[in-house]
Amino acid sequence: MPDITELIQKRFSCRTYADRPVEDHLLRKLDCLAAAEHAGPFGGKPRFQLIKMDMSSPEKWKKLGTYGVIKNARLFLTGAIKKSSKAAVDFGYCMEPLILEATALGLGTCWMAGTFNAGGFARAINLQGNEFLPAVSPVGYPADRKSLTDKIFRLSAGSDHRKPWKDIFFTEDFSIPLTPEQAGKYFPALENIRLAPSASNKQPWRILRATATNNFHFYLERAFGFKLREVPIQDIDLGIALSHFELTTRELGLGGQWLINADAPERKSLDYIVSWQEAGG
């Protein structure tokens, strides 16, 4: 995979695709990546599959529809995971590297947690009784021109805007913003969290650094209405953020691990999720 920061900056939510198939050699690579074993920081092991649309059957296409949100996509990355309290976090954490791998291959993607026919995709992936289907993503070549629907979605979600550091990252307690300068060697990892995709671009993650140990506590600032089909969508968002953080620290050679820290400060408006403990911290 190329430089992770380059891929994170390059990826965008593509809803309009060129009307041409993905080459066979890229399909084989994506199939292999999807079929590999995946595991999240909370032990969830999602399984992924590339669903290929039957372009000769309009009825089958409708059953696997996206309510007009996606145009011309012939492939969908689809995943399922066993139900558990942190399953959606693990799902987002495991699917995002596949999204970035597709980006590295020159393909477009779009995280979708609500605007797709869940029943149709569940049948296509043979969803089991103890599993749920948190999200899917179309995969294909981006069209040269975006559809009107695509433009409306980007405008309504504010996809081209991100919260400033002072609203997301803190040090010692939540009254003290963490500046890019103070972040030091962790600046790229935190900036790549800031650039992560999230539902309606809410960016619900909040990160608190413990200065003495250089450990980072991850929280969710939940918003009303972000649970669809019993899927906690903002948990997926946090999983994506965790993935960006770990992929970047790994590339920078910064060791560490995810763990639940009983000493993580509490805040009434936030849900504590997990901490990153620096190696030797």
Rounded to whole angstroms, how far apart are CA atoms 86 and 83? 8
Q: What angle do CA 41, 238, 66 make, to 5 degrees?
A: 110
Burial class (CB in 10 A: 0-12, 13-18, 19+), 181: exposed
Output phi, psi for 106, to 5 deg: 85, 20
Within a 13 Å sphere around the CA of 86, how many CA atoms are in the beta-carbon half?
Answer: 19
Output phi, psi for 147, to 5 deg: -75, 165
Rounded to whole angstroms, how far apart are CA atoms 47 and 133? 10
| Domain range summary for the chain, segments of one domain joined by + | 4-146, 165-278
Residue 82 DSSP SS3? strand
**According to DSSP H, which parts of 184-228 are helical?**
187-194
Nearest in space to 44 (alpha carbons), one of 182, 235, 208: 235
Rounded to whole angstroms, how far apart are CA atoms 47 and 73? 21
Q: Residue 140 is inside which H or E element, if any?
A: strand 136-140
Whether the CB-CB separation of 108 and 16 falls below 8 Å is answered with: no
Rounded to whole angstroms, how far apart are CA atoms 101 and 127? 25
The reply to whether 4-146 and 165-278 are identical in fold is yes
Written as one letter, the residue type at 105 is: L
Superfamily of structural domain 165-278: putative nitroreductase (tm1586), domain 2 (3.40.109.30)
The third-level CATH classification (topology) of the domain covering 4-146 is: NADH Oxidase (3.40.109)
**What pTM does this model have?**
0.91
* The two three-digit tokens of residue 178, written as one number: 């963490």
Rounded to whole angstroms, how far apart are CA atoms 216 and 219? 10
Q: What is the pLDDT along the chain (281 residues), one digit of tens a residue?
A: 679 999 999 999 999 999 999 999 999 999 999 999 999 999 999 999 999 886 555 555 555 555 567 888 899 999 999 999 999 999 999 999 999 999 999 999 999 986 677 888 899 999 999 999 999 999 999 998 765 555 555 555 444 578 999 999 999 999 999 999 999 999 999 999 999 999 989 999 999 999 888 899 999 999 876 666 678 999 999 999 999 999 999 999 999 999 999 889 999 999 999 999 998 76
